[in-house]
Amino acid sequence: MSRATPSAPPLPAAPPRALLVERAHELEAIAAAVGRVCGGGFADFAGGAGLASGSGFAGGAGGVVTLTAPAGLGKSALLDHAAALATAGGCQVRRATPSPLERHFPFGAVRELLEAPLRAAEPAERRALLDGAAALAGRLLLEGAAPGADATTAVAHSVARLCAGLAERPAPGAPPADAVALATGPTLALGDAARPAPLVLLIDDAHWADRCSLEVLCHLARRAADIPLLLIVAARGDDPEAPADLLGLLAHEAGAAALRPQPLSLRAGVRLLRGRLAPAAPLDLCRRCHAAAAGNPWLLTELGHQLAEHGPAALDPAEPHPADTRLPAADAPRAASAPHFADARRPTADAPRAASAPHFADARRPTA
């Protein structure tokens, strides 16, 4: 008697698109990559037909996506959207956001990505995950063992084995296979509860990641298709201290989607200002805002908040603003004083002072 082949479950519905303007190319590339690693796609993505199904629900194809752009162009928001898509697709999602102080902390980003799920595992599962080649990764993540720089290759192999084990785990929230088998029969249990949950690793601010972690990520990128694993790495390409060689290797990995979000066009800037903040904003005022922010969507958003509160006077730093309307200095963004903000293009004569006005200095942290 031949076993019936289970049919693939319906495609999961994609969550609503992030509130990102003029980012259709990036959103679709990310959705395609997540759909492939999920082993399928998403129904009704972008209001049309679902993304093409991949290799079927039994397993997906991993890959690499890189996002390279200056601060404020929406990289973090794109990662947020990727996380929502991957979660909807039944993936295990882990995210790391290194800081400048962690640049010289060996394997810091790897620990941020993988320590928590390993500690959360049941003891028996943890022992199975760390069996054999993954043991070195376990000592690094659980015991704080600090292998020397010359051991990075061995650590990378061990972390890859651990990731492969994590990617073989059932989807989050899935009932045990034996419980489903009792209710629906073993065939359906095999195709549903026992379905592996691919691993999606998101790394924001990767220009601040330590070299050891990036070397491990480069190794994972070469094995991503086999695990299956999706790496999405966001970094500023204009940081002079960034490990450009390793970030470049990730972007040029075979099959990688190397995305470079650009400043917004005037049309998109007007849409952002009117759609989110000031529906009645005159076109001339929107033009001035766009010029002052050089098309940077984070700066445009912050300027829009000031316009909503103070009106057109927000564009004139000579106009006084009540002290109690300014945001606390502790919330000032890391990037607000960076060279690429200070040197932003100012194409019009009546906007040159706006980007350096006091209300920008106290603005909230940008979406990197």
Question: Which has more confidence, 342 or 173?
Answer: 173
131-145, 177-191, 334-348: range with highest mean pLDDT: 131-145
Q: Which of 13-22, 93-102, 185-194, 269-278 shows the lowest per-residue confidence on average (mean pLDDT)?
A: 185-194
Please state the φ and ψ torsions of residue 237, each to the nearest 5 degrees.
-80, -10
Of 12, 20, 162, 160, residue with least CA distance to 79: 20
Model pLDDT, residue 184:
35
Pairing of strands 199-203, 63-68: unpaired
Model pLDDT, residue 337:
36
* Token pair listed for 257: 């989607």
Q: What mean pLDDT is reported for the chain? A: 76
pLDDT tens-digit profile of 125-174?
999 999 999 999 999 999 988 777 668 899 999 999 999 999 988 765 55
Report the predicted TM-score, pTM, of the whole model to 2 decimal places: 0.75
Model pLDDT, residue 173:
56
Helix and strand numbers (H, E) in the chain are 15, 5
Dihedral class, residue 22 (left if φ above 0, else alpha if ψ from -120 to 50, else beta): left
CA angle 134, 139, 142 (to 5 degrees): 110
pLDDT tens-digit profile of 210-226?
999 999 999 999 999 88
Distances (CA, A) of 214 to 117, 196, 249, 250, 311: 20, 26, 10, 9, 45
In angstroms, the CA 202 to CA 219 distance is: 15
DSSP-derived letter for residue 346 is: -
* Token pair listed for 185: 């029969």
Q: Say if residue 297 is preceded by a cis peptide, omega within 30 of 0.
A: no
- Average pLDDT score over residue span 72-81: 96
- Average pLDDT score over residue span 230-239: 95
Of 147, 149, 169, 167, residue with least CA distance to 223: 167
What is the set of domains in the chain, with CATH numbers?
A: 24-259 (3.40.50.300), 266-361 (no CATH)
Beta-carbon-side half-sphere exposure of residue 326 (alpha carbons within 13 Å): 15
